[in-house]
Homo-oligomer: A and B are copies of this chain.
Amino acid sequence: MKQNSGLTLVVYTMCALAFTVSVARAADPLPSWNDTAPKKDIIAFVTKVTQEGSPDFIPMAERIATFDNDGTLWAEQPLPFQLFFTLDRVKALAPQHPEWKDKEPFASLLKGEVKKALAGGEKAIYEILMYTHAGMTTDEFEKIVKSWIVTARHPKTGKPYTEMVYQPMLELLAYLRSNGFKTYIVSGGGAEFMRPWTEKVYGIPPEQVIGSSIKEEYAMRDGIPVIVRLPELNFIDDKEGKPVGIQQHIGRRPIASFGNTDGDLQMMQWTAAGKGASLCLYIHHTDDAREWAYDRKSLAGKFDKGLDEAKARGWTVVDMKNDWNKVFAYEKNK
């Protein structure tokens, strides 16, 4: 007995030490967040849903957190980054399409006149997207994205797009996961445009990326099975589409949602209407010095109805300028 007690004590002591170390390490899981209301809201929410015995406790399997991507995890100005990818693809494909020189919307695009090209409205955008995102296999498209994402540079900062991710949000993703949350991207962007790099950049694996999609078809080519990307829209994962995408993909309602535009409002409403505790957090782009300032009148990332509803319902709104002491990871610490 005595020997056993001694051994038990040793093990208990080791466990206690390990626990102390991990608590010390976890002391500030969100160092890039100032000690203002949003950080307090996040920590209070995570604490109450993870504390066994708490009336707000939520079992680990149900801790689903959904994140918009453009403007929420990475920047989206002066245009959503997938549009830069699309423009680069038009340029790369132009030699195979000599007719584009005289054909809109491609003619304007190739001259760098983006606004004029997009003046053709949805039909023009649709045509550009289908030429640049369809007509190849899924393996081929993955290679194209992987090659672009490491070579392309942002027109203003000169940084790779994957460095224009928000340091506070990377900390938030890690903090939620360390508390048993499953983190998902729910974006209006293309799922297969994001999946090749989200695991490395955000720690979010491809199966946890929900996005817009085009139709795909299984086919045999010289005895080798391929999946071919077809020039036909399948699903638009934006606005009313976000709760539907969540339902079809996850089959559970999120308990926490993060976004920055009116396109995320329905996802927030759906999250807030769950039975238990929930957290709805909007990021308000207010920092023209470190990033961009835009909201109600912005073409990319319009935040108008969402801002009103967030205020009316007491959801958490991050004022980027005041609540984040760092925006991008590459900024020097203050």
Contacts and interface: CB of A to CB of B under 8 A. Distances in A.
Contacts of A244: 216-218, 227
Nearest to A248: B213
Contacts of A64: 207
A231 to B, nearest CB: 16
Interface in A8-31: 10-11, 14
Nearest to A207: B250
Contact of A251 (B61, B192, B234, B241): B192
A225 B273 contact: yes
Given A191-B248, A199-B61, A251-B191, A266 B207 contact: no
A312 interface: no
A270 interface: yes
Interface in A202-256: 205-207, 209, 213, 216-218, 224-225, 227, 234, 240-241, 243-244, 247-252
A286 interface: no
Most buried by B among A206, A224, A241, A247: A247
Q: How large is the interface on A (under 10, 10 to 19, 20 to 34, 35 or more residues)?
A: 35 or more
A31 to B, nearest CB: 27
Given A207-B252, A225-B269, A269-B225, A247 B7 contact: no
A325 interface: no
A322 to B, nearest CB: 31
B10 A207 contact: no
A47 to B, nearest CB: 24
Interface in A177-208: 182, 191-192, 195, 199, 205-207
Interface of A: 7, 10-11, 14, 61, 64, 138, 182, 191-192, 195, 199, 205-207, 209, 213, 216-218, 224-225, 227, 234, 240-241, 243-244, 247-252, 266, 269-270, 273
17 contacts: A10-B11, A11-B14, A61-B205, A191-B248, A192-B251, A195-B251, A205-B252, A206-B250, A207-B249, A209-B251, A213-B248, A217-B240, A218-B241, A218-B244, A225-B270, A225-B273, A234-B248
